Structure 1
Amino acid sequence: MPRQTDPLPPDDDRVGRDLAAQVRRRLNALFESRLDPDTGEPYTHAKVSRVIAESGWRKVSPSTIGQTRSGENDNPTIKTLDSLARFFRVNVNYFLDEKTVDQELEVVQGLALLDRFKSEGVRSIAFRAKDLSPDGLRVIEAVLDQVRKAEGLEAPKGDI
């Protein structure tokens, strides 16, 4: 008999289904937001599997990755999640912690922003602008907008 403090009886599978859906949603968010720097496209399951194996982490097959993303594998091992977390440079708790949808989105957007800063030129500009006043930053933004326009690039969407 369950204790009064147990939120669900032990045979209730809702918790497992909710966690599986959470893992699937968060893994898909990582795949959708992180681009392969070699191709500029989303990572393939094969590439993720290969990099994990080459890194010496617990191997994860492309089919396991696909099944976890689709929900067919609704109970991935912690070792599988750990390897995927290492690949995407997140803590394994990213998959397991209770977060709101807004918090999840914030994590994924932050990771995407970090990927953008991998470009040495972008990083250099960011570091050089670090201690500028708000007026100085507006001048730099205006100059960057003019350079983008001269190079036929659209204005970036939104703020960082």
Structure 2
Amino acid sequence: MTAERSAVPSTLAARIERLFRTAVRRPGGEPCTNEEVARACREATGRSFSAVYLWQLRTGRRDNPTKRHLESLAHYFQVPPAYFFEDEQGARLADELELIGALRDAGVREVVLRAVTLSPDGLGTISDMIEAIARREGRIRQ
């Protein structure tokens, strides 16, 4: 039994929002602001990219950005432009972003660091235990 793949956000706004929550953080761990990201995108491309426009994309008020806007966001968040489209690569990236977000939790990070030294059998046992607990808590569908 394995955990089901994390859901890929279905809208562009949800995908961008996930990047803000998980992909890049400020030194203190806080999410970047629309202004910080828009400014970095402007500096990288030399083209117009406003914080208001980014806010519109994040909230779904605008949902048809230009190719250069998507490329600029992909560059800033260090993901391929394919992340913004529904496909297998987008699903893999969504899983990786979920992992990055989880590793920010000190408890999760501690478990992962301790598991690094375990044998394959030990890892299998831990995986089985996590699966059983998650099932009990209703987080894994049968």
What is the TM-score when the length of structure 2 is the normalising length? 0.57
> Could you tell me how far 1:112 is from its partner in structure 2?
4.4
Aligned-CA RMSD value: 3.4
Deviations 1:42-72 (A, max 9, x none): 1100000111222236442111110001111
Higher relative contact order (CA 8 A, sep 6+): 2
Q: Which of these two proteins has the greater Rg computed from alpha carbons?
A: 1
> How many pairs were matched up?
103
Aligned-partner Cα distance in 1 for 2:43–2:81 = 19
Change (3 A) 1:96 1:66: same
- Per-residue deviation, 1:96: 1.2
Any stretches of 5+ residues in structure 2 without a counterpart?
1-9, 105-112, 123-142
**Aligned residue identity for 1:70:** T
Matches within 5 A, 1:108-147: 108-112=97-101, 134=118
Question: Normalization by structure 1: what TM-score?
Answer: 0.51
Q: Secondary structure at the match of 1:60?
A: coil
Which portions of structure 1, spanning 4 or more consecutive aligned residues, are displaced by more than 3 angstroms? 56-59, 99-105, 110-114
Query: Amino acid of the residue matched to residue 55 of structure 1?
Result: A
Give the whole-Å Cα distance in 2 for the aligned partners of 1:68 and 1:133. 43
Structure 1 equivalent of residue 75 of structure 2: 86
Unaligned runs of 5+ in 1: 1-20, 117-125, 127-131, 139-160
